[in-house]
Amino acid sequence: MCGICGLVVLDGDGTPDRGQLSAMNDALVHRGPDSEGYLLDGPVGLAARRLSIIDIEGGDQPLSNEDETVHVVQNGEIYNYRELRGQLLEAGHRFSTRSDTEVLAHLYEQRGLDCLRELRGMFAIALWDARRGRLVLARDPFGIKPLYYAEVNGTLSFASELKALLRQPGFSREIDLTALQAFLAFNSIPGPYTAFTAARKLPPGHALIWEGGSPRLERFARPAPVPADAQRSGSGRELAAELLETLRDSVRAHLIADVPVGVLLSGGVDSSALAALAAMESGEPVRTFSIGFREESFNELSRARLVASRYGTDHHELVLEPDAAELLPELVGAFDEPFADSSAIPTFLVSRLAASQVKVALSGEGGDELFGGYYTYVADRLAPYAGPAATLARPLVERLPSSSGKVSFEYKAKRFVRAAGLPPLARHHGWKEIFSAEARAELVNPARRAEFDPVAFYEQRYGETEGADPLARLQDVDLGIYLVDDLLVKTDRASMANSLEARVPFLDNVVAEMALSLAPRHRVLGFSKKRLLRRAVAPLLPREIVHGKKQGFSIPLASWLRGELQPFARDVLSTETIERQGYLDAAAVQRLIDAHVQGRDDLSRQLWGLLSFTIWFDRYAREPAAA
């Protein structure tokens, strides 16, 4: 695991500045505190910070092929590198290390760009083919590992995190107003947008290729649900047995490391299954790490302890107090563009806890999107039948008082009645929408507004899966947008800020291929979610976990913002600050705070987004910014 960055002189005439490259690399030291490396060759400069996981002694980057005509830096892990290495040795290639990164150089030399389709793993790669004068940037099909790029003054820069690009002289900090609208709708910024007009995210499963002139984008992989008439047949028992073996194989692959591997254990079915399988595959007690809360409805340490006890793990816990006033600025520094998924707090802290013991930890991202784990999928299935009744009931439901409990009944009921009567894609967004179009219009300074329709943003992704069943198409939208630009961003930044590599076995190629072939009844039926996954792991886990409500690292934010964090929120979102920044309407912000504090509605996610944006703006958007 590493942080990577680089510079390319696009007209091919000149060499990148070593000082600029070093400054960019220094911004990524948390991603790789163990070593650093550089390559300057003609118009290209590559750099890497390394967190030593595989081939600790010999795996420093950049790495190259035998004649040093192909050079590679990589952020990630290739889990089938041993098999690929064996094939390449038979083809006559000679290796100088045991690193998975060196395999990439030889595999590209052997198979060209087609090599990207053979990789099983998570990766962001930069590869320089000196013979052809070709630079290749590539990102794994699920977008597990990030990669940003920008063109400034004739130079292409790229990096694992946006903060490294800010080190490039001439980088404009002009805020992308479309990205601002997207952030207010989603509480994260979906790719290819970034907070700045000058930079973009490389989409998952894409390569950016430069061979002189202008770079071009090519898609090399696109995980997608199968057509409805091609879904897997077979009994639930047979499929569950196959899924369990597939998950076992994925966990076995994700345990490959020359350092100890732990598990981030929330107490839900996904992370509990990973802990169980890791314990079964490991020759020594697996280290597990969990977060708890004083608020009872959010505290699920007891479930995590059930798994830890059953498998004799070396278990570690932390009870989280509402100290977000101290943590939020630290999180803003880690995420480097507006990001407001409040579960980043416990993810950040459990990563810090894990990093005190291990360098690698397994995490459960992807299980919900692939196997149907969200209540929104239940709502998607029920809405065609309940929509008219929900519309009639809306005036009554809207009068329910706001609760501070975890995903309370009134919160879910209000979300359901507000969106149930809409078309499928619009209502799917409605279940999760942060600020509606009307709310955004009221909130954003008229001079800072831009046109952005979240549903239209979904439509391109949705249109690519025509012929798949309706639920699978909506899951695919989440897989390509919410998972990539919220959950995986959260996990990557929170873990790497603590120099911890987080691995996600559910997003293994083979696991995903099976999940994407399942009929709807194996995912969601009535109010039952993740049906096949629960059946598959039932023999491994306590009944309370297999049949319990959805778990996760969520926090009691509504309660905190009505209590201990209220002074912090009012201070950060003061009229003076909002007017000085000039992007939001101060009076609208104060109305939101009052409505939440007075219990008229649960606006905790909206307020957290505004807090995140306001702190981020003063750190990164003003010149000069602290990078």
| DSSP letter string, 180-202 | HHHHHHHSS--TT--SBTTEEEP
Contact (CB, 8 A) for 122 and 76 = yes
SS (H, E, C) 590-618: HHHHHHHHCCCCCCHHHHHHHHHHHHHHH
Long-range contacts of 303-306 (CB under 8 A, 24+ apart): 303/267, 303/268, 303/272, 303/542, 303/544, 303/545, 303/548, 303/551, 304/265, 304/266, 304/267, 304/272, 306/267, 306/542, 306/544, 306/545
Q: Which residues contact 598 (CB under 8 A, 6 or more apart)?
A: none
Of 2, 7, 46, 175, the catalytic one is 2
Using CB atoms within 10 Å of the CB of residue 41, give its burial: 0 to 12 exposed, 13 to 18 middle, 19+ buried.
middle
Give Cα 577 to chain centroid, integer Å. 30
Report the alpha-carbon distance of residue 437 to residue 415 in Å, rounded.
15
Contact (CB, 8 A) for 165 and 155 = no
Between the alpha carbon of residue 329 and those of residues 114, 195, 325, 376, the distances in Å are: 43, 17, 8, 31
Q: Is 5 a catalytic residue?
A: no
Residue 117 is classified by DSSP as G
SS3 8: strand
The half-sphere exposure of 564 on its side-chain side, counting CA atoms within 13 A, is 9
Report the alpha-carbon distance of residue 16 to residue 238 in Å, rounded.
57
Report which residue type is found at 173: R
SS3 551: coil
SS3 512: helix
Burial profile 113-138: b = 16 or more Cβ within 10 angstroms, e = fewer: bebbeebbbbbbbbbbbbeeebbbbb
Query: Which one, of 57, 51, 40, lies nearest residue 75 by Cα?
Result: 51
Give Cα 134 to chain centroid, integer Å. 29
SS3 513: helix
What Rg do the C-alpha atoms of the chain give, in angstroms?
24
Strands 314-320 and 287-293: parallel
Report the alpha-carbon distance of residue 49 to residue 159 in Å, rounded.
11
Using CB atoms within 10 Å of the CB of residue 549, give its burial: 0 to 12 exposed, 13 to 18 middle, 19+ buried.
exposed
Report the alpha-carbon distance of residue 429 to residue 569 in Å, rounded.
27
Query: Which one, of 434, 490, 480, 449, lies nearest residue 179 by Cα?
Result: 449
Report the alpha-carbon distance of residue 606 to residue 615 in Å, rounded.
15
Structure tokens at 439: 């709310």
Dihedral sign (CA 560, 566, 572, 577): positive
Report the alpha-carbon distance of residue 415 to residue 419 in Å, rounded.
7
Q: Which residues are catalytic?
A: 2
